[in-house]
């Protein structure tokens, strides 16, 4: 399973020019850099080749994880950090409470069993640690229109997404494992902060036990 998934993601990243690229890099980099801080032991899940990791790794001890072996090799060479190939659909290969900060940028929508993944995040996160992440709003107003017209979501959403999050479903899933949760909308639409469920392009979160 892992070998096949690794091949699928490597092909997808190559075909879609994902190496060396991160969607909304400036905004995401600012959020994660300020939220991670410095002097932390950080786990970056789904790091790909470390493009986003580069915005917050300075001053921290970072471990990167991704299923794509090519991306992980590039991340290791690029940032000189610990970088491990691992399928996030399986338990994380780390001891309990190992990390001060865990980052999962645009990852939750890719894992088959989100609740199991979040239980693993909670397990390896320190009791006073913080879990940071982001996910696209699959129910952005234009996507809702496409759904209503009967279009296949794989035609206009990333085909590697196995779950499509709304603001409500994201909060519901995260709150099952984390008692303190702050979900923040991001988007260029002028109504992104007033009506985030409809007009935010992405959601960021900070969560803790």
What is the reported pLDDT for 156? 80
Confidence (pLDDT) at 74: 95
The tens digit of pLDDT for each residue in 182-203 reads 999 999 889 999 999 999 999 9
Query: What is the structure's pLDDT at 143?
Result: 93
Per-residue pLDDT at 16: 85
CA distance 60 to 35: 12
Separation CA 14–CA 70 (nearest Å)? 10
Please identify every stretch of the chain with a pLDDT value under 50, giving residue numbers as ranges: none
**Domain count of the fold of the chain:** 1
Tell me what pLDDT residue 24 has.
85
Residue 90, both tokens: 């399986």
The residue range of the domain holding 151 is 2-208
Q: What are phi and psi of 105, to 5 degrees?
A: -85, 115
Residues 126-159: tens digit of each pLDDT: 999 999 999 999 999 999 999 899 998 777 888 8
Q: State the CATH number of the domain containing residue 124.
A: 3.40.50.150
What is the predicted pLDDT for the residue at 97?
Answer: 98
Q: What is the pLDDT of residue 157?
A: 83
| H-state helical runs in the chain | 2-15, 25-36, 69-79, 114-124, 141-148, 167-175, 196-199
Question: Which pLDDT does position 34 carry in this prediction?
Answer: 97
pLDDT of residue 173: 98
- Residue 21 has a pLDDT of 85
pLDDT for the residue 152: 85
Q: Is the CB of residue 133 less than 8 Å from the CB of residue 103? A: yes
CA distance 196 to 169: 13
């Amino acid at each position: 399973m892992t070998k096949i998934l690794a091949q699928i993601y490597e092909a997808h990243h190559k075909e879609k020019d994902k190496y060396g690229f991160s969607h909304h890099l400036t905004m995401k980099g600012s959020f994660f850099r300020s939220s991670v801080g410095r002097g932390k032991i950080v786990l970056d899940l789904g790091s790909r080749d470390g493009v986003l990791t580069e915005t917050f790794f300075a001053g921290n001890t970072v471990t990167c994880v991704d299923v794509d072996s090519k991306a992980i090799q590039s991340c290791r060479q690029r940032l000189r950090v610990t970088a491990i190939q691992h399928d996030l659909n399986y338990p994380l290969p780390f001891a309990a409470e190992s990390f001060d900060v865990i980052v999962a940028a645009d990852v939750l929508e890719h894992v088959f069993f989100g609740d199991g993944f979040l239980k693993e995040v909670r397990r390896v996160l320190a009791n006073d640690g913080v879990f940071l992440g982001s996910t696209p709003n699959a129910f952005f107003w234009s996507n809702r229109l496409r759904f209503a017209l009967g279009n296949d979501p794989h035609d206009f959403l990333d085909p590697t997404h196995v779950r499509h999050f709304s603001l409500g479903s994201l909060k519901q899933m995260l709150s099952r494992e984390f008692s303190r949760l702050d979900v923040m909308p991001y988007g260029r639409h002028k109504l992104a902060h007033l009506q985030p469920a409809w007009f935010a392009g992405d959601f960021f979160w900070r969560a803790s036990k």
